[in-house]
Amino acid sequence: MGEKQIPIEGIDPGELLGAGGGYIKQISGKFPKLKVVARGSVLKVIGDEEEIGRFEQKLNRLFAYYEKFGHLSPEVIDQIYDNVMPVTEAPVDKDVIVFGNNGLIVRARTVNQQKLVQAYEKNDLLFAIGPAGSGKTYTAIALAVKALREKEVKRIILTRPAVEAGEKLGFLPGDLKEKLDPYLQPLYDALNDMIPPAKLARYMEDGTVQIAPLAYMRGRTLDNAFVILDEAQNTTLPQIKMFLTRMGKNARFIVTGDVTQIDLPRRADSGLRPTVGMLSGVRGIGIVEFDQRDIIRHPLVKYIVQAFDNHADEINLKEKE
């Protein structure tokens, strides 16, 4: 009779245990002669030493699968423990980008989201332009998380221009970080869907994942990184040039923006459209235009966007007359 304490590594203990301890019960059921007790970030295993060795070997394969694909399910556990599926394989679904937290499957759900994923395979710099709710940023962050998991890059850097959408930063409470965090919250939200909380906290602490305002990019060379500039319609031409020229070795850049939601004092100062025009046709640069068909928020959002677009067209027409 032996006893061994096995640390839970590379996975949040809550993810391994599953809802109501379901996953650990399923795993324990594969070794009925062993007693398995979960205590915090450690599994205590009691039984025959040879059987404990086999248990640990299977558990390490499960950890390796989670490290690569970021999710577990009863089916995955069965396939790994029954030697049906190697840890290098995941369930086949061509539209799946990453497996997120709590069973979330992040897919390319629309035609243009699929185009963005396909364009990523062929280009180091991508522009994703389109209306609110079309999944531009979310898809881009999913691609970044996938690249990090597959060790294509060493870090993810997400940035936004700190431009006030009708509010004034100076009147917000707190220090500079506390003033800017609300502008960066959509990026945190997407990451929280795709990376377990404990692991994301570690990544944020050691710099594997960085979220910062655009001004903080000045002077940096971004090597081995997946970098996303969000809300790029609120950058001026010099700012977007500064950002794009940060691109270093083995870097992947995605620029997202909605040219109908420019918050700069003068709309004409936005550098996004001119930049896309200048770089169109350059090898290694992809441009994907999203539209109302890609909007996947509440069904009413499509009609809201259409109504505002129609209103803008009417104003432009009157100005021309």
| Tokens of residue 212, six digits | 């910062």
Residue 169 pLDDT level (bands cut at 50, 70, 90): very low
- Of the two residues 179 and 64, the one the predictor is more confident about is 64
Poorest-pLDDT segment among 3-12, 192-201, 312-321 = 312-321
pLDDT digits (tens, 9 = 90+) for 92-128: 456 788 888 877 788 888 889 999 999 999 999 999 9
The arithmetic mean of pLDDT across residues 138-160, rounded, is: 94
Count Cβ atoms within 10 A of the Cβ of residue 178 and give its class: 0-12 exposed, 13-18 middle, 19 or more buried. exposed
Q: Which CATH class is domain 2-81?
A: alpha beta
The arithmetic mean of pLDDT across residues 145-160, rounded, is: 93
Most confident of 9-18, 38-47, 73-82: 38-47
The fraction of the chain above a pLDDT of 70, given in percent, is 83
Nearest to 308 by CA among 319, 300, 320: 300
| Tokens of residue 160, six digits | 């936004």
Q: Which regions of the chain carry the CATH code 3.40.50.300? A: 96-320
Residues sharing a CB contact under 8 Å with residue 122, sequence separation 6 or more, in sequence order? 286
CA distance 63 to 9: 7
Nearest to 95 by CA among 74, 115, 72: 115
Per-chain mean pLDDT for the chain: 83
CA distance 256 to 120: 13
Nearest to 251 by CA among 87, 96, 124: 124
Residue 10 pLDDT level (bands cut at 50, 70, 90): low
DSSP state at residue 269: G
Helices vs strands, H then E, count in the chain = 11, 11
For the chain, what is the radius of gyration of the CA atoms?
Answer: 23
Q: Which regions of the chain carry the CATH code 3.30.1370.10? A: 2-81
> What type of residue sits at position 134?
S
Question: According to the model, what pLDDT value does residue 168 have?
Answer: 44
- Domain 96-320 listed as CATH 3.40.50.10490: no
DSSP state at residue 285: E
3-state secondary structure 228-242: EECCHHHCEHHHHHH
Long-range contacts of 301-308 (CB under 8 A, 24+ apart): 301/132, 301/133, 305/131, 305/132, 305/133, 305/260, 308/260
Q: Is the dihedral of CA 188, 189, 194, 196 positive or negative?
A: positive
Contact 137, 230 (CB under 8 A): yes
**Three-state DSSP state, 58:** helix
pTM, rounded to two decimals: 0.68
pLDDT digits (tens, 9 = 90+) for 211-250: 888 888 888 999 999 999 999 999 999 999 999 999 999 9
Tokens 């795709």 -> residue: 194
